[in-house]
Chains A and B, each alone.
Chain A
């Protein structure tokens, strides 16, 4: 009985700590600025949708959302295809001078370096290529980061799949690449999904490079666009809260949808 009471207490405590801040964001987004700063109410007394409407009429949040979706989709899709092939090569082939292992280690090293380290030169590169403030510039950057991640993740998945299956397919007349495409890849589908989900999360939420590489609604992503509301002297709290909700909603919805894969992807690397 005592243990059960303790359990309920801890549960309630954890839920409150996690949900209260989120509640405050959502509830603020339905208040007017007057209610927020002057009345300091604990819940919206006069709920309004104005803040949301303003984001899409007075501010280009529609463009931000489109940009985010396009950039995330292409950079994750390209990285998955390219990364899966690279990971397979590293997991299966023995090259001269153990080249495949060196490439793997090299990609891992790149992955460990904090992205902020190459911010300046990437900015200069995109500047010289005329790719600042464009989809292509962001897609190229995110794809590269995602490739290092996908290779690293997928490699361990491919190692777990027995080689015998591919050999059997090849004895039956499949080419090596055919065996990879028709046998190994479908078997690695759960791993592929976990990798994709994780890449989508990180890419959609990315802010630092979006901050440096974009400047107008033409290419600004959701987090970047949301941040434009911040930092002025009189902060428009209501818009900021609504922007926060809109900014986080797609990704939270996505995460809840794929929860099972997500948890596996998050924890697998560390436990193994």
Chain B
């Protein structure tokens, strides 16, 4: 079970409280986690990744195990602690004012 922490605006949009728990088939990567997230919560499509390019939106960051992994390949395996559910995968709205 993968644990995902969403920023407040996306929790409101997805109508969830606290962490989201997802079953992810196969290798646990940014892409597979986000695919599973969007399949369960279709209203989140386009809010984390661009609808057309599938690229991470510029002001969205991904943290895991106290590391910023935003720049890593979306197909890079996530840390074992995330894959095992010991640590969450964090989706962060970049600290950009406003």
Are these two chains actual partners, yes or no?
A: no
Could you list which residues of chain A lie within 8 angstroms of chain B, going by C-beta atoms?
A: none
